[in-house]
Amino acid sequence: MIGFILTGHAQFSNGLASAIDMVAGDQPAFQIVPFDGSKAASYGEDLRAAISAMRAETDGVLVFVDLLGGTPFNQAMMISQDIADVEVVTGANLPMLIELLLTRGAGSTLDELADQAVEIGKMGIVHKKLEASVPEGDEFDGEDGI
């Protein structure tokens, strides 16, 4: 199984993990590593330790981060250069994580899951509007009032 680690600024990973727990329940091989500004000095070491531990128990680790170019992304990318079978996906969102958590299986590869994450993430971003509609036969002619 591929392990998942979620990280991001402040309460980002905590909030998504809470929502995942509510929607999909407790998930195996899933861990969060929040980037708390007050613990910035040890963040890189904490993330490396989490990735190393997850990697020892899984076939690979997919690290989800919130923001391209931020500290969590930069640290995850550096760590991915030192530890085999670690990939990083940025722009993590709830639809992406829930679908991947529920569909990953023993046959899933790290590259397939990373590509799937990007596609699902894109599909989860839409702009919708509700259009006002008048039921057929109830057309307002403006004469009767209320």
Model confidence over 89-121: pLDDT tens digits?
999 999 999 999 999 987 889 999 999 999 999
Q: Which of 56, 65, 60 is nearest to 107 (CA)?
A: 60
And the tokens for 119?
């596609």
pTM: 0.87
64 in helix, strand or coil? strand
* Structure confidence at residue 137 as a pLDDT band (50, 70, 90): low
Second CATH level (architecture) for the domain 2-123: 3-Layer(aba) Sandwich (3.40)
Q: Evaluate whether 68 touches 12 at the Cβ level (below 8 Å).
A: no
Q: Evaluate whether 54 touches 23 at the Cβ level (below 8 Å).
A: no
* CB neighbourhood size of 60 (10 A): 20
| Residue 79 confidence (pLDDT) above 60 | yes
Q: Where are the domains of the chain?
A: 2-123
Q: Evaluate whether 86 touches 26 at the Cβ level (below 8 Å).
A: no
Number of helices and strands in the chain (H, E): 5, 4
Model confidence over 36-72: pLDDT tens digits?
988 899 999 999 999 999 999 999 999 999 999 999 9
* Structure confidence at residue 86 as a pLDDT band (50, 70, 90): very high
